[in-house]
Amino acid sequence: MIGASGEQIGIIPIREALERAREANLDLVEVSPTSRPPVCRIMDFGKYKYELAKKAKLARKKQHVVQMKEMRYRPKIDEHDFQFKTKHVREFLMQGSKVKAFVMFSGREMAHTEYGYKLLERVVQELSDISTIEQTAKLEGRNLTVILNPKPQAIKAKAKRPENAQDKDKSVRSETVSENRDGQD
């Protein structure tokens, strides 16, 4: 048995342990039931449960949830649309999200799935500097899917770059534009 202040009392009968717990106005809690003899402790069980809940809540708060973002492509996509969508996928990866890129086939496009494989291969190549492949290209019904994971180094590099630098770049650009307008008037 272990006392309320953490001192080891020793091996005592259950009735005596219960009496000591009642005298201290606390609970007798079995800490290790599998050991021989079982270990019990005198403590405030309500306070103990509260502290466990508090620790669990803090652990959940620090936990990072990885989101799965999706980007849909078509086999006959235009170059500008491809660049625009791939730029968004890059932003998702930089934020630390997983990305599921997929090519949707409709009608007779299913006869030429090789265009979809080439397209997804190009997406993977464009993003190879900041991502790794979690799942290679896989045909699921009418969708050809690939899943990309962000590389930790890319996310850390973004975190090291100060956000103020981005704000300064924007303000310099807007000042330059306004000066050009004033000069033209």
pLDDT at 162: 56
Taking the C-alpha atoms of residue 121 and residue 33, their distance in angstroms, rounded to an integer, is 57
Nearest alpha carbon to residue 29 among 39, 20, 19: 39
More reliable by pLDDT, 59 or 174: 59
Please answer whether residues 148 and 127 qualify as being in contact, where contact means their C-beta atoms are separated by less than 8 angstroms: yes
- For 103, residues 6+ apart whose C-beta sits below 8 A from its C-beta are 72, 73, 74, 75, 116, 119, 120, 143, 144
Report CA-CA distances (Å) from 57 to 48, 63, 81, 133.
14, 10, 43, 33
Taking the C-alpha atoms of residue 67 and residue 69, their distance in angstroms, rounded to an integer, is 6
Q: How confident is the model at residue 17 (pLDDT cuts 50, 70, 90)?
A: confident
Domains of the chain: 1-45 (3.10.20.80), 68-159 (3.30.110.10)
DSSP H or E run through 90: helix 79-94
Percent of residues, the chain, with pLDDT higher than 70: 85
pLDDT at 185: 45
